[in-house]
Amino acid sequence: MDFELTREQELIRRMTREFTENEVKPIAAETDRTCAYPRETIDQLFRYGIMGMSVPQEYGGAGADDLSSAIAIEELSKACASTGDIVATHNGLCCGPIIQNGTEEQKQKYLRMLTTGGKLGAFCLTEPDAGSDASKCTTVAKPEGDHYVLNGSKIFITNGYAAEVFVVFAMTDPSQGTRGISAFIVENTFPGFSVGKHEEKMGLHGSPTAEIVFTDCIVPRENLLGKEGKGFKIAMQTLDGGRIGIAAQGLGLAEGAMEEAVAYTKGRVQFGRPIAKFQNTQFLFADMAVSIEAGRLLTYQAAIRKTKGQSFTKEAAMAKLFTSEAAMQITTKSLQMFGGYGYTKDFPMERMMRDAKITEIYEGTSEIQRVVISNHIL
């Protein structure tokens, strides 16, 4: 078993770490405060090839492996989980299903838009009454002539009001249940497409979340992604891969919070010595370091298995479950070390704690991850 990163993966880490320190960290608090989509940062990430990095070279990407992609999200999320989320969604949930299921024409057109074209992507599955149970989706797609007509709405769509390309799931045959769901590539300029409510969230303020509404939305037939009725399978496959991205985001959040806490406790003096000198602090850091290392191994294992073409559903669920819960615990304990200062917006801890919470919820709640894992056991 080889635990060494490749030379390229090492460089991806160096590059994204440097980028994060110089470009992301300085604006993270302001992004959170203003709830502004960090457009300039994302434009730069397009320029440097982070956006769509796993897209094959012939379609405008770098053909990066899944571990490289996870490392990039991990490093970005150390300073700003919103940026990590935008990248994870674009790469895993929009580029991912098109790479896996797109026709040659779809790949040439849309993967280029999502890489060199600088267009942001999103993934539309969740509906008001179809969350963890995605089979209850009510958005419908009716074939008419050379196109489909979509009606319905999707909620909690990451990148919603900034994206221009959407992978959308809709019922083409409601009588078939999950076998009646199909996937489509939808552009925000298609007639009948609109952006609804912008969500005000507890955290991830820089990540643009919105409702997407389809009102007699005209989608060309050639934009059907995969075969009719195969949408649910595409969605589940995509979420398997997406979970590696969210695991990497949780990992980055946990690492970022611990780094902040280590630096703070070395300088904060109480009872005549830095609080890092107290055994309580030391034991907490030891436990955090173990969780981070375990989460890293789980996440990297899932990514490597995906690149090798091995089954990774269980491993991705384990990685996502473990790192998201570790992120929540580590941000909470790190904030505690800051005492009252940690509760203020003068330090990043309260933002990190708010940002961490969503990792236990989206792309499959912790409960759903346990369902996925136990299905592989029983």
Cβ proximity of 345 and 354 under 8 Å: no
Binding flag, residue 349, another protein (CB under 8 A): no
**Considering beta carbons, is residue 65 or 363 the nearer one to another protein?**
65
Amino acid at 219: V
Task: Tell me how crowded residue 339 is: count the other CB atoms within 10 A of its CB.
Answer: 12
Specify whether 211 is catalytic: no
Binding flag, residue 262, another protein (CB under 8 A): no
CA distances from residue 229 to 177, 186, 233 in whole angstroms, order as listed: 9, 17, 9
Q: By CB under 8 A, which span of 58-66, 137-145, 278-286, 361-369 interacts with another protein?
A: 58-66
**Considering beta carbons, is residue 87 or 155 the nearer one to another protein?**
87
Binding flag, residue 376, another protein (CB under 8 A): no
Binding flag, residue 50, another protein (CB under 8 A): yes
> Minimal distance in Å, beta carbon 64 to another protein?
6
Radius of gyration of the chain (CA): 21
Binding flag, residue 47, another protein (CB under 8 A): yes
> Minimal distance in Å, beta carbon 340 to another protein?
29
**Considering beta carbons, is residue 68 or 359 the nearer one to another protein?**
68
**Considering beta carbons, is residue 68 or 106 the nearer one to another protein?**
68
Amino acid at 348: P
Binding flag, residue 53, another protein (CB under 8 A): yes
Amino acid at 190: F
> Minimal distance in Å, beta carbon 7 to another protein?
6
Interacting residues with another protein between 63 and 122 (CB under 8 A): 63-64, 68, 72
Which structure tokens are listed for 258? 């611990």
Q: By CB under 8 A, which span of 33-41, 47-55, 95-103, 283-291 interacts with another protein?
A: 47-55
153 Rama class: left (phi>0) / alpha (psi -120 to 50) / beta? beta
Q: Looking at the chain, list the stretches that DSSP marks H as alpha helix, in order from N- to C-terminal side.
A: 7-19, 25-34, 39-47, 66-79, 81-88, 96-101, 104-106, 112-113, 231-267, 279-308, 313-337, 349-359, 366-375
Catalytic residue (choose from 127, 315, 350, 363): 363
**Considering beta carbons, is residue 91 or 126 the nearer one to another protein?**
91
Size of the site for another protein (CB under 8 A): 19
Cβ proximity of 138 and 158 under 8 Å: no
Binding flag, residue 14, another protein (CB under 8 A): yes
> Minimal distance in Å, beta carbon 372 to another protein?
30
Dist CA 282 CA 214 (whole Å): 53
Strand, coil or helix: what is 340?
helix
> Minimal distance in Å, beta carbon 265 to another protein?
19
**Considering beta carbons, is residue 72 or 225 the nearer one to another protein?**
72
Dist CA 82 CA 264 (whole Å): 23
Q: Which string of b and e fits 228-247 if b means at least 16 CB within 10 Å?
A: bbbbbbbbebbbbbbbbbbb
Binding flag, residue 15, another protein (CB under 8 A): yes
Catalytic residue IDs: 363
Q: Which residues bind another protein (CB under 8 A)?
A: 7-8, 11-12, 14-15, 18-19, 47-50, 53, 57, 62-64, 68, 72
